């Protein structure tokens, strides 16, 4: 087992690499900012820890990140247990997010699809439906980006292979998106 210092070093190494993917991160942040200000809905989905990130980000859109400001339309497709279980039972687990998007989303809305591997079948299906509905798609990924990297409009591939480090970076990136909606004053010492 690695020591705490070694884990911290691993975390820092991944975060230092985020500067190498600044362009897609900023492009995604600008898209979310424009969509929110235009009254569009940002849908978010993921599995496991990525589902928790989806819910966290959605809550920051509808609630707030730091500053008091108008609520933005954010929907985590991971929270409606009745829909999730009914869709999984009737259509299969691969359709749990796609079916919800098909019923809820409109052209011009945004989907933020989170997958550390980029191979989750239910995330791929959601992106396919989003494309058919003329939504913009952002994928938060890790490793080599998987299948999703070539399908999403904007793919953000965290340059790491350890799931925990990828998820930590995804959480940071989602907070960065929030800062585009709530510009914070510079902190000086």
pLDDT tens for 134-172 read 999 999 999 999 999 999 999 999 999 999 999 999 999
Length of the chain: 189
Was 53 annotated as part of a binding site?
Answer: no
Was 162 annotated as part of a binding site?
Answer: no
Was 117 annotated as part of a binding site?
Answer: yes
Was 48 annotated as part of a binding site?
Answer: yes
Domain presence at residue 4: no
Was 11 annotated as part of a binding site?
Answer: no
Was 35 annotated as part of a binding site?
Answer: no
The pLDDT of residue 184 is 66
- Are 123 and 48 contacting, i.e. CB atoms less than 8 angstroms apart? no
The pLDDT of residue 189 is 61
Domain presence at residue 81: yes
* Cα 65 from Cα 178, distance rounded (Å): 6
Q: What is the pTM of this model?
A: 0.95
Was 175 annotated as part of a binding site?
Answer: yes
Residue partners of 37: CB distance under 8 A and separation at least 6: none
Was 189 annotated as part of a binding site?
Answer: no
Phi, psi of 127 (to 5 degrees): -65, -40
Q: How many domains does the chain have?
A: 1
Was 142 annotated as part of a binding site?
Answer: no
Domain around 67: 22-181
Was 120 annotated as part of a binding site?
Answer: yes
Structure tokens at 144: 């080599």
Domain presence at residue 30: yes
Find the CATH number of the domain harbouring 109. Answer: 3.40.50.10490
Q: Is the pLDDT of residue 87 over 70?
A: yes
The pLDDT of residue 183 is 76
Q: Is the pLDDT of residue 187 over 80?
A: no
Of 52, 24, 59, 45, the residue nearest 173 (C-alpha): 24
Domain presence at residue 171: yes
Was 60 annotated as part of a binding site?
Answer: yes
pLDDT tens for 25-37 read 999 999 999 999 9
Was 56 annotated as part of a binding site?
Answer: yes
* Cα 59 from Cα 109, distance rounded (Å): 17
* Cα 105 from Cα 128, distance rounded (Å): 13
pLDDT tens for 40-68 read 999 999 999 999 999 999 999 999 999 99
Domain presence at residue 27: yes
């Amino acid at each position: 087992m690695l020591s705490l210092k070694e884990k911290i070093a691993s975390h820092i190494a991944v975060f230092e690499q985020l500067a190498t993917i600044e362009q897609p991160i900023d492009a995604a942040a600008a898209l979310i900012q424009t969509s929110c200000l235009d009254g569009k809905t940002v849908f978010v989905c993921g599995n496991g820890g990525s589902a928790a990130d989806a819910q966290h980000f959605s809550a920051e859109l509808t609630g707030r990140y730091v500053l008091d400001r108008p609520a933005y339309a954010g929907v985590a497709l991971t929270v409606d247990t009745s829909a999730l279980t009914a869709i999984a039972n009737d259509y299969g687990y691969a359709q749990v997010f796609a079916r919800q998007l098909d019923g809820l989303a409109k052209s011009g809305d945004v989907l933020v699809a989170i997958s550390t591997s980029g191979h989750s079948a239910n995330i791929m299906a959601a992106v396919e439906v989003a494309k058919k509905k003329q939504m913009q798609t952002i994928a938060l990924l890790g490793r080599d980006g998987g299948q999703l990297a070539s399908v999403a409009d904007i793919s953000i591939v965290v340059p790491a292979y350890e799931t925990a480090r990828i998820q930590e970076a995804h959480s940071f990136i989602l907070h960065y998106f929030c800062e585009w909606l709530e510009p914070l004053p510079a902190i000086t010492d």
